[in-house]
C-alpha cells in the first residue's frame, strides 16, 4: 500500500492514471488538511490523500510513475507493507493489477 498526497483537484487524475495503467487495483482519494515545514516556514494546505492498493512487485513502477506525473517538487510517497487482510480482497488486488 502506498500513501501519496496531491494538490486539491489532482488526486483523482493521478488515481485514474494508476488504475488505467493497471499498476494499482484501487486508489481511495480523500480530502486532508496538511501542515508541514517547507523552505523554512510552516505551510498549511488543503490536499488530497491517495491510498493506493497494489502488489509489492509493482511498487517501484508506481513510485517512478507518480514522480513523473506529480506536480510537486518533492511529492510525498510513503510505502507501507500489507501484513495481512481479508484474503478475498487481497486476491482481488492481485487479479486486477498487471503481472
DSSP conformation class of 38: E
Residue 63 burial (10 A CB sphere; 0-12, 13-18, 19+): middle
Report whether pLDDT(99) > 80.
no
pTM (predicted TM-score) = 0.93
Strands (E), 1-99: 2-7, 26-38, 41-53, 77-79
| Residue 85 domain boundaries | 2-95
Assess contact for 18 and 62: CB atoms under 8 A: yes
Q: How many CB atoms are located within 10 Å of the residue 54 CB?
A: 25
Total of domains in the chain: 1
Q: Per-residue pLDDT tens for 61-77? A: 999 999 999 999 999 99
Q: Per-residue pLDDT tens for 20-64? A: 999 999 999 999 999 999 999 999 999 999 999 999 999 999 999
CATH code: domain of residue 19: 3.30.70.120
Amino acid at each position: 500500500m502506498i500513501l501519496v498526497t496531491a494538490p486539491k483537484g489532482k488526486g483523482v487524475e493521478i488515481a485514474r492514471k494508476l488504475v488505467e495503467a493497471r499498476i494499482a487495483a484501487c486508489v481511495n482519494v480523500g480530502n486532508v488538511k496538511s501542515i508541514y515545514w517547507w523552505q523554512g516556514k510552516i505551510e498549511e494546505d488543503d490536499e488530497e490523500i491517495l491510498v493506493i492498493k497494489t502488489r509489492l512487485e509493482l511498487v517501484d513502477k508506481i513510485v517512478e510513475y507518480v514522480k513523473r506525473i506529480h506536480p510537486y517538487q518533492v511529492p510525498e510517497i510513503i510505502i507501507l507493507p500489507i501484513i495481512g487482510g481479508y484474503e478475498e480482497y487481497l486476491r482481488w488486488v492481485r487479479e486486477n493489477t498487471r503481472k
